[in-house]
Amino acid sequence: MDLKNYIRDIQDFPIPGILFRDITTLLKNPEAMRAGVDAMISQVQDLQFDTILGPESRGFIFGMPMAYVMNKGFVPVRKAGKLPAPVARRDYALEYGTATIEIHKDAVQPGQRFIIADDLLATGGTAKAIIELIKELGGVVVSSVFFIELAGLEGREVLAGHDVRSALVY
């Protein structure tokens, strides 16, 4: 199944000059959605790790079913102000702005091994911020896996020194 056939391109979203790869067309098709999650699982099934991290919100879409199938825990990485217990936070740059992410401090134990699962690797800012948070809390990021990688935006270079895997590359 060519998963790229299920991804819609939206020009000038969310701002002029951005070509948005819309996965909602993939998600509404049960076979394509399953194939997408399976493609991400196949990227990391050889790795030893404890827990999958997924950034809000599309990291939840892929990370939760991956965790379920692989019998791993799942930790949400949220936008600022969404988590009720004490948090660690990090500001970071997006391809079209800035944002802040947070994770519960007690979600990471020293030496715990994580995989970051997200829908898109663009500039690498989100994944880099998560890696920094996990290190700060004493955890280890084994790998980052993305459904789509936009190679021209050089996010992989921002994550140099970390294992990066992608199901689809544009």
Alpha-carbon gap, residue 154 to 121, rounded angstroms: 9
Cβ neighbours, 10 Å, residue 142: 18
Burial of 43 (0-12, 13-18, 19+ CB in 10 A): buried
Tokens of 161: 């020194």
Alpha-carbon gap, residue 89 to 103, rounded angstroms: 7
CA–chain centroid gap for 95, Å, is: 15
Backbone angles phi, psi at 87, to 5 degrees: -125, 160
**Residues labelled catalytic:** 58, 95
Max Cα–Cα distance, the chain, nearest Å:
43
Alpha-carbon gap, residue 67 to 74, rounded angstroms: 6
Three-state SS at 167: strand
